[in-house]
């Protein structure tokens, strides 16, 4: 179809060659113009063939990723709930508590929100900026609702102080102001375990470090898994690459079958193997090696073991396809000249197999860092990775802004790894089979 | 490693080569064992995930097909099987059409911005699924297509496209365009030459790309978890729910069926590869 489009039918002069500059000398200006037009046409036709896919991907892929990036800095909820209060708070300096008028307006808004059953939403949003604020908001809102609207409109500020002393300190008002920001960096600060002081300075959050530790743990687990797949995969690929091709084709099935078997099937298999009364424990007990079943499932160990198994083909296949092309006589030559096997491997074979090794390592590392299913199923509490926390904030705590910020950071991390790899090794080295 | 030990091999060389062979077999065993173990466990008569004594003594009474019967009697599983095929086939058709067309454009030497466009098309392969799922969740809820077949099919097609492109582009790069031009010189119209000459030669690449796309969709679960309503649960989604809520051997029976499907898949891929090599004049060794 490309060629159909690129070489239109009908009588015309011999096809002008876009790249032949030597021939230009012999062309008339008219012919040159025709050649240029032809080139433009060809480029346009080629582009046209990719256009449907580009349009499709902008809806199915680029727009969703863009939405996620946007969601990490955009949070209109509180601004929609209490627009008047935020308007008044915008000229407040953040030092003493806001003036009576502002507080009264807020009390009135809050009563209204409670009546519309939306004060819970405000409490939830506020709680993310100031832990514990949710119960203050809900408790006050309930009491305000018992009073007449006129009374709240008249002496709302006093009523706030009466119902909860928290309204007398500037802290909660600052939190309100902060939660009301439509475009905000607060999700990113939370995701990086930072916070803003009342003066607006960024500092390490006083409460425990959560997210940075989890990123570090995710990277550590990713590296462990990558290292394990190298240790298991490199010798195996070397062995397979040096088998007669008939036997190698048969043995590679043992790598391809797991590769093509559903991820859920392999995870299920590890659950069957590792659980308390599972195959591993009963075998070990039958052999008399242990007397009590070991706790294997729902641990970090289970996550690493299952993921090593799942990702090992991603290491073996690129390695094997590179090693197949290395002439075995190089190694033999080195050894016949007196090199020990280790030396021959290190100075001859390793450099030649490096493209496969780095491609496999990058694939395994990038995939493992973003993994969700296996840690969720076999990881228990200490085998969780950053993806699981993103899922938690999307599904359970409904903190979409924070989920988006964590996701953006993870995406940035993976892009950095990928571009570093592409820069130093070249991503076109990745081959599977 | 070597069929005959070379003359310069000492005892330690030989020991090393043997150790390598043993180690490699151990790793192959590690790769295949979990998959093999599942199959007999799915015939367990008891609702456990482990071997009973009767099974070890190979008593026929310890084995049964009850978990397979359960799959076909459970409307949830039947719906999941139907959904998996509907979504997988639809996503495959979209990915194969768009991907093949784009691959033909991308292999043209006139293609502008080739590297940039290639990067965009292959990006769904590198971006973690959880991030795609999160983005699609935010995007789709905004336009009310979360919880519809349409949304999941779009997402799965996007995932399958890189595989179709890689596979078709690889076949096209081995395609000798002189064949196509020969067709033209003999008077065929370009469309006829493309359909009669190019298509049959690149067909194995298109089919294997389509198979990859189908398996990608069939196996995908993260996006389904975030985007699908109860009506769009697929097989892996149903397994995920089962493993989290109540573990029972029905899942093992489903897993065994899926293993059978991947064996079939592997065989068809191998047949395609041989055919492709024959078509391109490379004789199989």
Residues A255, A174 share a domain: no
| pLDDT single digits (tens) B64-91 | 888 999 999 999 999 999 999 999 999 9
Interchain pair A236, B24: CB under 8 A: yes
Mean of the per-residue pLDDT values for chain A?
86
Which residues of chain B does A309 touch, with a Cβ-Cβ cutoff of 8 Å? Answer: 30-31, 34
A130 in a domain, yes or no? yes
Is the per-residue pLDDT at A1 higher than 60?
A: no
Same domain, residue pair A310 and A404: yes
A270 and A359 part of one domain: yes
Q: CB-based contact (8 Å) between A313 and chain B?
A: yes
- With cut-offs at 50, 70 and 90, classify the pLDDT of residue A97: confident
Parallel, antiparallel, or unpaired for β A194-196 and A202-204?
antiparallel
Where residue B4 falls among pLDDT bands split at 50, 70, 90? low
C-beta atoms of A257 and B263 within 8 A? yes
A196 lies in a domain? Answer: no
**A326 has pLDDT over 70:** yes
Residues of chain B with pLDDT > 90, as a percent, come to 46
Q: Do A397 and A303 have their domain in common?
A: yes
* Number of compact structural domains in chain A: 3
- Please report, rounded to a whole number, the percentage of residues in chain A having pLDDT higher than 70: 92
Each domain of chain B, given as residue ranges in start order, spans 83-247
- Interchain contact A426–B (C-beta under 8 A): no
> What average pLDDT score do residues A242-255 get?
89
Asked whether residue A191 is domain-assigned, the answer is no
Selecting from A242, A272, A395 the residue whose C-beta is nearest the C-beta of B1 gives A242
Token pair belonging to A66: 């863009």
The reply to whether A89 and A127 lie within a common domain is: yes
pLDDT higher than threshold 90 for residue A255: yes
- How far from chain centre, in Å, is Cα B62? 34
Instruction: Select the residue of A46, A258, A266 nearest B110 (Cβ to Cβ).
Output: A46
pLDDT tens figures, A193-210: 888 777 778 888 877 788
Q: How many CA atoms lie within 13 A of A352 on its CB side?
A: 19
Does residue A202 lie within any of the structural domains? no
pLDDT tens digits for range A285-313: 888 888 888 888 999 999 999 999 999 99
- Of the residues A71, A103, A121, which one is the last residue of a structural domain? A71
Q: Which residue has the tokens 């009576």?
A: A100
Task: Identify the domain boundary among A50, A71, A92.
Answer: A71
DSSP one-letter code for A427: G
Tell me: do A244 and A280 sit in the same domain.
Answer: yes
Q: Which residues in A lie closer than 8 A to residue B255 (C-beta atoms)?
A: 262, 264-265, 268-269
Q: Give the model's pLDDT for residue A164.
A: 86
- pLDDT of A239 reads 94
SS3 A194: strand
Q: Which residues contact A308 (CB under 8 A, 6 or more apart)?
A: A225, A228, A229, A232
By residue range, what is the domain housing residue A67? Answer: 2-71
Distance from CA of A192 to the nearest CA of B (A): 18
What pLDDT, on a 0 to 100 scale, did the predictor assign at position A13? 47
What average pLDDT score do residues B214-234 get? 92
Nearest-by-Cβ selection for B135 from A68, A258, A263? A68
Q: Could you tell me which residue, B175 or B32, shows the higher pLDDT?
A: B32
Closest C-alpha to A181, from A164, A159, A196: A196
Residues facing residue A194 across a β-bridge: A204
Q: Report d(CA B219, CA A49) in Å as an integer.
A: 29
* Cross-chain CB nearest to B226 (options A6, A45, A394): A394
Give this prediction's pTM.
0.86
The answer to whether B185 contacts chain A (CB < 8 Å) is no
In-domain check, residue A193: no
Q: Are residues A302 and A364 in the same domain?
A: yes
- Of residues A27 and A36, the one with the higher pLDDT is A36
CA distances from A416 to A413, B16, B129 (A): 5, 40, 17
Least CA distance to A306: which residue of chain B? B34
Give the tens place of pLDDT for each residue, A333-349. Answer: 888 888 888 888 899 99
pLDDT of A2 reads 39
pLDDT category, B60, cuts 50, 70, 90?
confident
- pLDDT classification of A53: cutoffs 50, 70, 90: very high
Q: Which of A53, A71, A89 is the last residue of a domain?
A: A71
Average pLDDT for residues A270-294, to the nearest whole number? 87
Rounded to 5 degrees, what angle do the CA atoms A219, A261, A284 make? Answer: 75
- DSSP alpha helices (H): ranges in chain B? 11-41, 53-56, 66-73, 75-106, 114-126, 129-142, 149-173, 177-185, 190-193, 199-219, 222-227, 235-244, 250-279
- Same domain flag for A259 and A322: yes
Higher pLDDT, A17 or B232: B232
Nearest neighbour of B190 by CB, restricted to A9, A266, A312:
A9
Question: What CA dihedral angle connects B20, B25, B26 and B30, to 10 degrees?
Answer: 140
At residue A12, does pLDDT exceed 50?
no
pLDDT score of A132: 84
Judge whether A332 is closer than 8 Å to chain B, CB to CB: yes
pLDDT at B44 over 90: no
Condensed to tens digits (0 to 9), the pLDDT of residues A122-162 reads 888 888 888 888 888 888 888 888 888 888 888 888 888 88
CATH number, position A377: 1.10.3720.10
Hey, are the CB atoms on B20 and A239 less than 8 Å from each other? yes
Closest C-alpha to A77, from A67, A89, A86:
A86
What residue of A is the nearest CA neighbor of B236? A264
Pairs of residues, one from chain A and one from chain B, whose beta carbons lie less than 8 Å apart: 293
A73-86 mean pLDDT:
87
Q: Are residues A277 and A378 in the same domain?
A: yes
Instruction: ipTM value, please give it.
Output: 0.88
Q: Is A8 helix (H, G, I), strand (E, B) or coil?
A: coil
Verify that A299 and A421 share a domain, yes or no: yes
Q: Is residue A197 part of a domain?
A: no
Beta bridge partners of A183: A74
Mean pLDDT, chain B, whole residue set: 87
Tell me: domain B83-247, CATH 3.40.50.880, correct? no
Average pLDDT over residues A402-408: 95
Give residue A222's pLDDT.
Answer: 95
Is some CB atom of chain B closer than 8 A to the CB atom of A215?
Answer: no
Q: Is residue A205 included in any domain, yes or no?
A: no
């Amino acid at each position: 179809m490309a060629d159909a489009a690129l070489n239109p039918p009908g009588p015309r002069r011999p096809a002008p060659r876009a790249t032949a500059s030597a021939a230009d000398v012999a062309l008339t200006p008219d012919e040159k113009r025709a050649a240029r037009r032809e080139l433009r046409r060809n480029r346009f036709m080629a582009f046209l063939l990719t256009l449907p896919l580009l349009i499709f991907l902008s809806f199915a892929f680029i727009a969703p990723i863009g939405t996620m990036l946007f969601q990490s800095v955009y949070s209109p909820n509180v601004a929609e709930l209490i627009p008047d209060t935020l308007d008044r708070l915008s000229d407040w300096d953040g030092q003493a508590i806001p003036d009576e008028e502002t507080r009264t307006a807020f009390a009135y808004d809050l009563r209204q929100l409670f009546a519309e059953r939306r004060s819970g939403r405000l409490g939830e949003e506020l709680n993310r900026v100031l832990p514990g604020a949710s119960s203050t908001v809900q408790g006050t809102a309930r009491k305000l609702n018992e009073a007449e609207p006129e009374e709240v409109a008249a002496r709302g500020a006093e009523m706030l102080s009466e119902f909860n002393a928290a309204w007398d300190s500037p802290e909660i008002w600052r939190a309100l102001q902060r939660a009301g920001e439509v475009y905000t960096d607060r999700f990113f600060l939370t995701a990086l375990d930072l916070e803003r002081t009342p003066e607006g300075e960024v500092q390490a959050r006083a409460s425990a470090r959560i997210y940075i530790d989890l990123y570090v743990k995710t990277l550590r687990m990713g590296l462990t898994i990558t290292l394990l797949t190298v240790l298991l995969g490199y010798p195996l690929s070397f062995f397979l690459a040096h088998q007669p091709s008939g036997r190698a084709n048969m043995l590679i099935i043992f790598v391809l079958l797991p590769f093509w078997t559903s991820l859920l099937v392999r995870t299920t298999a590890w659950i069957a193997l590792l659980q308390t009364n599972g195959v591993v424990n009963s075998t070990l007990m039958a052999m008399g090696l242990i007397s009590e079943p070991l706790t294997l499932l729902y641990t970090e160990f289970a996550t690493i073991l299952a993921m090593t198994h799942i990702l090992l083909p991603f290491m073996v296949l690129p390695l094997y396809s590179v090693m197949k092309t290395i002439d075995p006589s190089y190694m033999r030559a080195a050894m016949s000249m007196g090199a020990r096997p280790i030396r021959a491997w290190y100075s001859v074979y390793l450099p030649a197999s490096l493209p496969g090794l780095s491609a496999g390592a990058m694939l395994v590392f990038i995939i493992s860092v973003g993994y969700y299913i296996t840690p969720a199923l076999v990881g228990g509490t200490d085998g969780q990775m950053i993806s699981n926390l993103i899922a938690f904030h999307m599904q359970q705590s409904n903190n979409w802004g924070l989920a988006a910020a964590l996701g953006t950071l993870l995406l940035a991390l993976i892009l950095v790894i990928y571009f570093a790899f592409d820069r130093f090794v070249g991503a076109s080295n990745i081959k599977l089979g | 490693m070597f069929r005959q030990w070379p003359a310069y091999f000492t005892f330690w060389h030989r020991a090393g080569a043997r150790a390598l062979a043993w180690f490699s077999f151990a790793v192959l065993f590690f790769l295949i064992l979990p998959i093999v173990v599942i199959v007999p466990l799915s015939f367990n008569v008891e609702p456990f995930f482990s071997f009973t004594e009767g099974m070890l003594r190979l008593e026929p009474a310890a084995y049964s097909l009850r978990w397979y019967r359960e799959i076909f009697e459970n409307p949830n599983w039947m719906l999941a099987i139907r959904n998996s095929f509907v979504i997988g086939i639809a996503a495959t058709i979209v990915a194969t059409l768009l991907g093949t067309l784009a691959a033909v454009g991308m292999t043209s030497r006139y293609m502008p911005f080739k590297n940039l466009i290639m990067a965009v098309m292959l990006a769904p392969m590198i971006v973690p699924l959880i991030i795609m799922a999160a983005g699609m969740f935010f995007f789709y809820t905004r336009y009310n297509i979360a919880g519809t077949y349409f949304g999941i099919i779009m997402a799965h097609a996007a995932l399958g496209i890189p595989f179709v492109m890689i596979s078709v582009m690889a076949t096209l790069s081995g395609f000798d365009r002189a064949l196509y031009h020969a067709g033209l010189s003999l008077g065929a119209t370009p469309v006829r030459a493309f359909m009669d000459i190019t298509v049959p030669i690149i067909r194995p690449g298109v089919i294997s790309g389509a198979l990859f796309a189908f398996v990608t969709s069939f196996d995908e679960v993260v996006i389904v978890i975030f985007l699908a309503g109860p009506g769009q649960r697929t097989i892996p989604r149903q397994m995920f729910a089962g493993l989290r809520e109540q573990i029972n051997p029905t899942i093992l029976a489903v897993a065994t069926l899926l293993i059978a499907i991947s064996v079939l898949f592997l065989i068809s891929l191998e047949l395609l590869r041989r055919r492709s090599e024959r078509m391109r004049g490379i004789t199989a060794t």
